[in-house]
Amino acid sequence: MCPSKTPDGEERGWIIPIGGAEDKENETTILRRYVELCGGRDADIVVIPTASRRADTGERYEALFTELGVAQVTAIDFDTRRDCEEKGRLSRIGQASGIFFTGGNQLRLTTLLGGTSVAKLIRQRNAQGAHVAGTSAGAAVLSEHMIAFGEEGGSPRAGSVRLAPGLGLTNRFIIDQHFRQRDRLGRLSTALAFNPFAIGIGLDEDTAAFIAPDNTLEVVGSGAVTVIDAAGLQFSSMDRIEEGEPVCLLGLSVHMLVSGATFNLHTRQASAGSLITPKE
C-alpha cells in the first residue's frame, strides 16, 4: 500500500496524529489548530467514530467542532464493510476539508475500512489537500505501518509488539499513542527493530504532531513527542533472540520534543523551533 500521488500543482493536506485525551473543555489548543487548518468558520469536517463502540462518540465530536465555530460537521460511522461502498457516504467525505478519526480500537478501523473505497478515498483526499487527523487509535491507523497491540515497558523485547497495515497516508513513520502515560518506549523501539526505515513517533496525551506537506513535524499540546530515528542503526539482535528476550539496538537517535519544537521527517533533523526565542 502506498500513499496516493499528489496531483500536479496541488499540495498534500496535513496529517495530524494526536496522542489521545486531547483537551476538549478548556483551551482546546489542538482541536482549535486543526479547525484553523481546515478553514476556520468555513471548515467542513467529517468525523469517523468507527474505532469507538460508544454510540455517542460521533455526536460528541460534532458538538465539539460546532462549538469551535465549524460551519459544517458530520459524523459518519461504518458498521460493516458494505457501508464503506455506499455512495452517499463517499460523496460526503469527498466534499470535506478535514477528516477526523476518533479513538477506540485501531483494529476495528482497519478490519472495517482497510481495502475499501473509503480507505482509498481518504488517501486520495489527503493527497488533494484535505487535512486528516486522528486521536489515540485514530492516530495509530494513519500510517502504512500500524501498531496493532503490544506490551508496556521501557525496554524493547522480541514479541512485545504486533504490527498490521494501517490506512497508508504515509510510510515515513510509525505512531504510538498515550506514550508516556502507558510506558510504551519499549514497544515502539521494538517496532523500529523490524523496520528501521520508518521513524518512531511516540505521542503523549493531549499532544499532537502537526505534519505539514513538506514533512516538517511541529509539536502542539501540553505533553511531549518522543522521536526515535533508526536511520543510524548499527546493530540489532532481533534476528537471533527468542520470544520475550530483550533486544540489543545500537545507534538509535532519540529526541524529546515539546510544543513549538520541530522535526523534519525527510532530513531527519530536529529543532527547538519557537523555543529558541526567549520569553519576554
- Assess whether pLDDT exceeds 60 at residue 254: yes
Cβ-based burial of 1 (10 A; exposed 0-12, middle 13-18, buried ≥19): middle
Considering the candidates 97, 136, 160, 189, report the single residue annotated as catalytic: 136
pLDDT value, residue 3: 83
Is 205 designated active site?
yes
Among all chains, which residue has been given the C-alpha cell 501540553? 222
Is 178 designated active site?
yes
Residue 8: inside a domain: no
Q: How confident is the model at residue 277 (pLDDT cuts 50, 70, 90)?
A: low
Q: How confident is the model at residue 7 (pLDDT cuts 50, 70, 90)?
A: confident
Q: What is the CATH number of the domain that holds 92?
A: 3.40.50.880
Residue 19: inside a domain: yes
Residue 280: inside a domain: no
- Assess whether pLDDT exceeds 80 at residue 278: no
Q: What is the mean pLDDT of residues 138-157?
A: 96
Distance from chain centroid for Cα 197: 17
- Per-residue pLDDT of 211-243, as tens digits, reads 999 999 999 999 999 999 999 999 999 999 999
Residue 274: inside a domain: no
pLDDT value, residue 9: 86
Residue 187 sits in which domain range?
15-264
More confident residue, 180 or 8: 180
User: Which among 116, 110, 169, 175 is positioned nearest to 144, based on CA atoms?
Assistant: 169
Residue 273: inside a domain: no
Residue 251: inside a domain: yes
| Global confidence as pTM | 0.96
User: Which among 266, 147, 264 is positioned nearest to 197, based on CA atoms?
Assistant: 266
Total structural domains in the chain?
A: 1
Could you tell me if 190 and 158 are in contact, meaning their C-beta atoms sit under 8 angstroms apart? yes
- Per-residue pLDDT of 148-161, as tens digits, reads 999 999 999 999 99
pLDDT value, residue 147: 97
Considering the candidates 62, 205, 218, 236, report the single residue annotated as catalytic: 205
- Assess whether pLDDT exceeds 60 at residue 67: yes
Return the C-alpha cell found at 129.
489537500
- How far lies 157's CA from each of 132, 202, 243, in Å? 32, 17, 8
- Assess whether pLDDT exceeds 80 at residue 145: yes
> Out of 32-46, 78-92, 185-199, which region has the weakest mean confidence (pLDDT)?
185-199
Is 27 designated active site?
no
Considering the candidates 178, 189, 218, 259, report the single residue annotated as catalytic: 178
- Assess whether pLDDT exceeds 80 at residue 1: no
Residue 128: inside a domain: yes
- Assess whether pLDDT exceeds 70 at residue 279: no
pLDDT value, residue 43: 98
pLDDT value, residue 280: 57
Q: What is the mean pLDDT of residues 109-118?
A: 97
Residue 2: inside a domain: no
